[in-house]
Amino acid sequence: MNAIYLDHAASTPLDPQVIAALQAALTGEAAAGNPSAITHAYGRAAAAQIEHARERIAALIGATARELVFTSGATESDNLAILGLARGRESFGRHLVSARTEHKAVLDACKALAKRGFEITWLEPQRDGRILPEHVAAALRPTTQLVSLMHANNETGVVQPIGAIAELCRAQGVFFHVDAAQSAGKLPLDVGAMPIDLLSLSAHKMYGPKGIGALYVSERVRPWIEPLMWGGGQERGLRPGTLPTHQIVAFGVAAELARHRRLEDSRHFDGLARRFKQSLEGLPGCRYNDAAGGGAAAGDSAAGEAAVRHLPGLVSLSLEGVEGESLLAELPQLALSSGAACDSATGEPSYVLRAQGVPRELAQSTLRVSFGRGNTLEEAEAAARYIRAAVGRLRDEDDAGEPPGGPWLQGSAGSLAEGARIRCFVRLTADGRLAALQFRLAACPHTRMVARRLEARVAAGPCAVTELGQPAEWAVDAAVPITKLGRLLAVEDALRRAVDSAAAARSRTIEP
């Protein structure tokens, strides 16, 4: 795989020091022992390594080791924080506050509570993606138990003013949960200074292994959390199950490295993002979906958070006039995404961008570029060149003019907002058969493939429209997913409209 890796917001590669720690933890006494079996040396060795890692991870966010609960990742941490607190304090109130731009782990946990009769207030972001503290304050009620907001958005990199929000929640006696999967190790975090009650972490976002994360649970909120699972009583009864020593040790090393490298990494990531944007300057129809500003290295205290508006190294850009899936397909040199990794298979435009007011056609033509430690300035420049070229090719396919070799008559159907914009150009023989066929389109790779096959069929010799088949047949021949059949119907509509237009023009020509 020779593609330049630019999807660090989805997952980061293991740091070499993390790999070494992981391998070491898989051998020796600690590898054999169950950390709960402290009656012998093997179990005690495993437990000691875990507690050392716990201290390292806690230090990254200004917590004490006792306040850290290990989970399988930030998704589980989000669920434990939201569901665990809501259930544990249900008798005190059944109202929660969150935002429409949160990670699916938060959205779906809140929706699950709503089915049980809880009330959820969904905050709307500003156009720049920010959630204002005054809007949080206005949403609070006497029955509010929890506010849950992410620190940095996983799609746009927009940083929320969590320090100010934490202060107002504390003043109102409301618990505050922060999803810090993207920001930990990149932005200043101090759960005591801010002050935060619950905070979710994930190792694989900071050059650690997948499958391990943590939830910070302050002593203030600990008595009210109800576990989601039951078993051996590990992690102070909040998360049962045998702890994975090797993963936790590796997580500890990753957190230690992130703590010491934060400023260095942030400057590097910001430099790469700046060079990337500079290299894209002048590209028409390029829009950035993030708050103005940046500079995650703008201070080490929570007081400096007002100057930190954007996660270093993450760039979300929407490109006018191109279809998003085809844009990714035209970029085999780059490993990047159109949005959150957990949503990439749906084909739907980003709900985060739609919540910010980004039009559907722009939201679906968005790229998320997230730089990491191993990237270079040369790669940032190369990425911009590849994107420029891909956009140029796709816009040429959708050129507003007629194809060469006219005259043509045309028909059109669909729009980018609907997923495909099709213009069809035809010439007919004297007996009404297709003599030539050309498409101009902005559409997904499957739709483009079908259009090119139809063009090739007509290029092989004049044929009747009926000989080209039906959209259902095209879908089978080209292995088009059923969810895209509507786009093939747009191809058929454009073709028939072009043929009808050509037939009408020929009829007018031969009228006496």
Q: For residues 50 and 35, is the Cβ–Cβ distance under 8 A?
A: yes
> d(Cα 119, Cα 219) in Å, to the nearest integer?
26
Q: At 287, which helix (H) or strand (E)?
A: strand 286-288
CA distances from 21 to 60, 252, 309, 399 (A): 18, 9, 34, 55
Q: For residues 451 and 323, is the Cβ–Cβ distance under 8 A?
A: no
Q: What is the DSSP letter of 98?
A: E
Phi and psi at residue 95, in whole multiples of 5°? -125, 135
> d(Cα 34, Cα 17) in Å, to the nearest integer?
24
> d(Cα 244, Cα 235) in Å, to the nearest integer?
12
> d(Cα 199, Cα 51) in Å, to the nearest integer?
19
Phi and psi at residue 48, in whole multiples of 5°? -65, -40
Q: For residues 187 and 86, is the Cβ–Cβ distance under 8 A?
A: no
The domains found in the chain, sorted by start residue, are 12-256 (3.40.640.10), 262-295+306-395 (3.90.1150.10), 409-510 (3.90.1010.10)
pLDDT at 510: 53
pLDDT at 339: 64
- What are 136's two structure tokens? 């949080």
> d(Cα 390, Cα 367) in Å, to the nearest integer?
12
- What are 358's two structure tokens? 């980004």
pLDDT at 452: 96
Which one, of 418, 476, 473, 480, lies nearest residue 447 by Cα? Answer: 480
Catalytically active residues are 342
266-286 pLDDT, tens digit each: 999 999 999 999 999 999 999
Q: What pTM did the predictor assign?
A: 0.90
1-44 pLDDT, tens digit each: 689 999 999 999 999 999 999 999 999 778 899 999 989 999 99
> d(Cα 436, Cα 458) in Å, to the nearest integer?
6
Which one, of 114, 117, 103, lies nearest residue 155 by Cα? Answer: 103
Rg (CA), the chain: 27
Residue type at 411 in one-letter notation: G
Which one, of 25, 24, 50, 55, lies nearest residue 36 by Cα? Answer: 50
130-147 pLDDT, tens digit each: 999 999 999 999 999 999
Number of H helices, E strands in the chain: 15, 15
> d(Cα 256, Cα 445) in Å, to the nearest integer?
44
Sole residue written with tokens 């006219």: 406
79-95 pLDDT, tens digit each: 999 999 999 999 999 99
Neighbours of 159 (CB within 10 A): 29
Q: For residues 239 and 70, is the Cβ–Cβ distance under 8 A?
A: yes
CA distances from 137 to 98, 132, 247 (A): 12, 9, 39
pLDDT at 306: 47
- What are 184's two structure tokens? 């930990």
Residue type at 287 in one-letter notation: R
**pLDDT < 50 stretches in the chain:** 292-306, 341-346, 512
Q: For residues 367 and 287, is the Cβ–Cβ distance under 8 A?
A: no
CA distances from 330 to 222, 323, 480 (A): 50, 11, 18
487-509 pLDDT, tens digit each: 999 999 999 999 999 888 777 66
The burial class, CB within 10 Å (0-12 / 13-18 / 19+), for 150 is: buried
- What are 46's two structure tokens? 């495993």
Strand, helix or coil at 394? helix
Longest dimension (CA), the chain: 106
Strand, helix or coil at 463? strand
> d(Cα 299, Cα 240) in Å, to the nearest integer?
38
